[in-house]
């Protein structure tokens, strides 16, 4: 059964719009857990545009499920991860001008750097995932870094959903998942997934966890965060392979 990691960055984005203290991502995480969310994902960006150091520290001390820390592969972020020791880290590319993560890591070009960068994290017992595009060469390179997981970027699939190119983007995800498993990698996925397009993704054999944020927080505006999480969990629990 595919599990659900809920990205609460968008709760922090609403907080930062007024520069105050609410809504609090820490409270959001508690609500997600009470609604049977399986993990909490946060992206600590270099410019701290939404999630901040205080959030990450308190979350690491209070959540009862699993904390997945998305971060750039920088020395600063490595130090923070080694201090708080989240359950897992997901290494993502980061550009300051982007609204949200626009694509996957180029592991092929950064393979040797990532091999060394991962070692202290792995030695500390932190599970490491690489956020990559569904490209077979990127999958192969990821396996060579010794990361345990990849997270496939589903943005192109989400954009092509219900269009003539949907099958092409879906098949790229399916083929990448298959190769990853053959190479000993575990597979998560995320970006742009919602209550309509998620059903096809969870049909992919071997998919372990989906990280979903924007669509859940958007739905929460109308039905509440707990109900929005339960609605997504229902889909994952009833349509997974």
- Cα 152 to Cα 59, 162, 201, distances in angstroms: 25, 20, 11
Query: What Å distances lie between residue 21 and 39, 90, 118, 151, CA to CA?
Result: 23, 26, 34, 31
How open is the CA angle 107-112-114, to the nearest 5 degrees? 60
Active-site option among 10, 43, 50, 153? 43
Q: pLDDT class for 103, splitting at 50, 70, 90? A: confident
43 given a catalytic annotation: yes
Known catalytic membership, residue 191:
yes
Of these residues, 33, 70, 94, 151, which one is catalytic? 70
pLDDT band with cut points at 50, 70 and 90 for residue 239: confident
Going by their DSSP bridges, the two strands 3-7 and 39-43 should be labelled as: parallel
**Residue 240 pLDDT > 90, yes or no?**
no
Q: Domains of the chain (ranges plus CATH)?
A: 3-236 (3.20.20.70)
CB 143 within 8 A of CB 185: yes
Mean pLDDT of the chain: 95
Per the residue annotation, which of 10, 50, 153, 191 is the catalytic one?
A: 191
Neighbours of 232 (CB within 10 A): 24
Six-digit token pair at 204?
């992919």
Per residue in 150-186, pLDDT (tens digit) is 999 999 999 999 999 999 999 999 999 999 999 999 9
pLDDT, tens digit, 9 for 90 and up, residues 23-41: 999 999 999 999 999 999 9
pLDDT at 97: 53
């Amino acid at each position: 059964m595919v599990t659900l990691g809920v990205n609460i960055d968008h709760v922090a984005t609403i907080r930062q719009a007024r520069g105050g203290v609410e809504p609090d991502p820490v409270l959001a995480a508690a609500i997600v857990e009470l609604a049977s969310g399986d993990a909490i994902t946060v992206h600590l960006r270099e410019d701290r545009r939404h999630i901040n150091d205080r959030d990450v520290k308190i979350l690491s001390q209070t959540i009862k499920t699993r904390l997945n820390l998305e971060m750039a592969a920088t020395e600063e972020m490595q130090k923070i991860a080694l201090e708080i020791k989240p359950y897992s880290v997901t290494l993502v590319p980061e550009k300051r001008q982007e609204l949200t993560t626009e694509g996957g890591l180029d592991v092929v070009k950064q393979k040797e750097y990532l091999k060394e960068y991962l070692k202290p994290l792995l030695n500390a017992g932190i599970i490491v995932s690489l956020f990559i595009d569904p490209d077979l060469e990127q999958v192969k390179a990821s396996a060579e870094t010794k990361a345990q997981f990849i997270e496939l970027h589903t943005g192109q699939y989400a954009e092509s959903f219900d269009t003539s190119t949907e099958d092409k983007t879906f098949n790229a995800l399916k083929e990448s998942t298959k190769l990853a498993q053959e190479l000993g990698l575990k597979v998560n996925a995320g970006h742009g997934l919602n209550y309509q397009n998620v059903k096809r993704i969870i049909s992919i054999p071997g998919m372990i966890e989906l990280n979903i944020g924007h669509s859940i927080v958007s739905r929460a505006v109308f039905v509440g965060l707990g109900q929005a999480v339960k609605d997504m969990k229902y889909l994952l629990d009833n349509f997974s392979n």
